[in-house]
Amino acid sequence: MKTRIIILGLLLLGLGVLFHACEKDKQPIPPASSIADFKVQASSQLAPATISITNTSVNAKSYLWDFGNGQTSTVENPEPFVLENPGLYNISLTIEPLEALYYNKLQKQLPLNLADPDAGKVRTLYYTSRSTGKVHYLRLDGNPPVVFDFPTGGLNKPYGIAIDYQGAKVYVSDTDGFIYRYDLNGENQEVFLSEDAEPLVSAPYGMVVVEGKLYWAIEGGISRCNLDGSNVEPFATFAGAPELPLGMAYDSLAQKIYFVNDKYDFSGGVYTINSDGTGLEQIIPGVDAGAIALDLTHQKLYYADWVGGVFMANLDGSQVVNINSYFNEKFCWGIAVDPDEEKLYVPDRYNNGILFRSDLDGGNAEPWLEGVNAYAITIDILR
């Protein structure tokens, strides 16, 4: 009996020590942090759009909203409001916390990009971007440039871009084996053709719309189809040079297709071919360029050669002139002419993705827009 009492005493002593230790280990519960958080929903991706905001912040005493359009509010839950104009709006929320804690998150900002419903109705520059996997565009209306995004993306290796003016469509080639089609404002993205169904769509590069047909470059030739996707066929097949056409352009006056030939793996050069598939001709040898543009008003062609920079020549390939040596050893997949404003656009992806603009003779070159990382570019000139 005595032994049992001793054992029981020891157990009670142990439990007491354990309880005391647990009491010592207890820490005070820290105060909850304050976090600014919200969600934004737009009734449309095109301006004008009704904007609804859901406030999901925690432990806030007060709120300061900035809607990115010059208007602010201090209410907890803002009423829906309308953004009338296209553009990039940075909507932000700043809260006052319940406690002054170092792990509070007192501000949140969300960008909202409303597309321009008049895209294609005014002079518009379109470009593809591999960094975003999307097509983007901006209006050439004399105002400071504002970039708008096509609503959907999913492009992996976009290369060429072309516009069907009559059908009001934008076509984009992806060298992973797809051709996509969009409305001029980016709505209604669709897979127009894919190599799974059409072998002639394998790795499409430059593109151009000619007389109701879409043409695209592939290794060993040029393919084409109707603008409804029917009648896919080879337009020209090349045995030897030119081995891989890249960028393409169309001279509607002479009814000729111009293209540059890859020189990284092949022989390079600038070529022309008649719209009936005859008359293949190399007009400038040895060129290492990814894109070409035409100015039919002044009867000039432009390309950016890896060696030397941007060049201008007559449409027959004569009188080649280097007009911008800045682009020496900067490979360009895009170049575009605005004949109405007499401006030339060339993207530089090597230095913060700058889009350069100059006069048609190369004068007054300026870093017009940064951070665009453009590949192919084209201008809807409303002709």
Domain membership of residue 189 (yes or no) is: yes
* Average pLDDT of the residues of the chain: 88
For the chain, how many residues are written? 383
- CATH label of the domain that carries residue 104: 2.60.40.10
Is residue 201 a contact partner of residue 234, using CB atoms and an 8 Å limit? no
Tell me: pLDDT of 82 over 80.
yes
Domain membership of residue 148 (yes or no) is: yes
SS3 298: coil
Last residue of a domain, one of 61, 80, 114: 114
Residues 109, 51, single domain; the answer is: yes
Residues 230, 187, single domain; the answer is: yes
Domain membership of residue 5 (yes or no) is: no
Tell me: pLDDT of 383 over 60.
no
Going by pLDDT thresholds of 50, 70 and 90, the confidence category of residue 26 is low
Residues 180, 274, single domain; the answer is: yes
Tell me: pLDDT of 86 over 60.
yes
Residues 98, 210, single domain; the answer is: no
Residues 231, 358, single domain; the answer is: yes
Residues 333, 222, single domain; the answer is: yes
Q: Percentage of the chain surpassing pLDDT 90?
A: 68
Q: Which residues of 37-56 are buried (b: 16+ CB within 10 A; e: fewer)?
A: ebeeebeebbbebebebebe
Domain membership of residue 19 (yes or no) is: no
Tell me: pLDDT of 121 over 70.
no
Instruction: Identify the pLDDT of residue 88.
Output: 75
Residues 159, 199, single domain; the answer is: yes
Last residue of a domain, one of 114, 147, 174: 114
Residues 254, 129, single domain; the answer is: yes
Instruction: Identify the pLDDT of residue 119.
Output: 65
Our count of domains for the chain comes to: 2
Average pLDDT over residues 356-380: 93
Residues 204, 309, single domain; the answer is: yes
Locus of tokens 């920079």:
309
Q: Which residues of 108-131 are buried (b: 16+ CB within 10 A; e: fewer)?
A: beeebbbbbbebbeebbbbbbbbe
Residues 184, 95, single domain; the answer is: no
pLDDT tens for residues 214-243?
A: 999 999 999 999 999 999 999 999 999 999
Going by pLDDT thresholds of 50, 70 and 90, the confidence category of residue 128 is very high
pTM, two decimal places: 0.75
- CATH label of the domain that carries residue 164: 2.120.10.30
Tell me: pLDDT of 275 over 50.
yes
Tell me: pLDDT of 305 over 90.
yes
Cα–Cα distance for residue pair 33/41, rounded to 1 Å: 26
Last residue of a domain, one of 82, 114, 146: 114
Terminal C-alpha separation, the chain: 111
Domain membership of residue 11 (yes or no) is: no
Instruction: Identify the pLDDT of residue 13.
Output: 47
Instruction: Establish whether the linkage from the previous residue to 242 is cis, with ω within 30° of 0.
Output: yes
Going by pLDDT thresholds of 50, 70 and 90, the confidence category of residue 118 is low
Residues 344, 283, single domain; the answer is: yes
Domain membership of residue 6 (yes or no) is: no
Domain membership of residue 32 (yes or no) is: no
Domain membership of residue 237 (yes or no) is: yes
Residues 170, 88, single domain; the answer is: no
Domain limits for position 71: 38-114
